[in-house]
Amino acid sequence: MAAIDRINLHSDPRVEHRNGYLNGYMYHYMYGEPKNYKATILMVSLGLSMNNTKEWCLIPLETDY
């Protein structure tokens, strides 16, 4: 299995911070286009859990087989 190249949330040149509006609410998201990929996912922050850590939901949108 290949190593995971993690994204630095504050200073990674591979992603852009963007905002979008939906039903009167503004949402922040990070956008990036990888050079090589096998799937597209949407990663949604569900907020903080009971132990004060961020919880995420990964939603597959498209696969390239």
* Tens of pLDDT, residue by residue, the chain (65 residues): 566 677 787 888 888 888 888 888 888 888 887 777 777 777 777 766 666 667 777 777 766 55
pLDDT for res 60: 74
Name the pairing type of β-strands 16-22 and 39-48: unpaired
Strand, coil or helix: 34: coil
The answer to whether the CB of 48 falls within 8 A of the CB of 37 is no
pLDDT for res 1: 54
| Full-model pTM | 0.53
